[in-house]
Amino acid sequence: MNKIALRTAVASAVIAPVMLVGAGTATAAPTVTAGGKGEINIAVPAGESWNCFALDSNFGFKAGVGKIGGFASGSNVTVFCFGSVAPFFFTGSVKVT
């Protein structure tokens, strides 16, 4: 039994610093702005990884970051983004021109 406890303690001592090195917080959340006709722009902070999904009021669904087009003109687009560091989640909405 003591051998198992010792192995667990050693493994934890080795793994904990590695986990802390990868931990962090986002410098900022993505921003959503209206682009050209039927377009939105999702700006992601440099050096961060976010996966974004956009849904317009006509149930048009798109995924990605940067300039995304193909939305119905005049519709409201809601964006959901998921990141790998805190705050982990972002949501925003914009009216498409």
Domain boundaries, the chain: 26-95
Whether the CB-CB separation of 14 and 6 falls below 8 Å is answered with no
With 90 as the cut, is the pLDDT of residue 96 above it?
yes
User: What is the spatial distance between Cα 36 and Cα 95, in angstroms, rounded to a whole number?
Assistant: 11
What tokens appear for 53 in the block?
């999904």
**Residue-wise pLDDT tens digits, 39-82:** 999 999 888 899 999 999 988 999 999 999 999 989 999 999 99
Kindly report the pTM of this predicted structure: 0.69
Residue 24 in this model has a pLDDT that exceeds 50: yes
pLDDT value at position 62? 95
Contact by Cβ (8 Å): 60, 23: no
Phi, psi at residue 24, to the nearest 5°? 180, -175
- Which residue, 56, 7, 11, 8, is CA-closest to 32? 56
- Give the alpha-carbon dihedral of 41, 44, 46, 48, to 10 degrees: -150
Tell which wins on pLDDT, 82 or 24.
82
pLDDT (mean) for 6-28? 49
In 1-97, alpha helices (H): 2-22
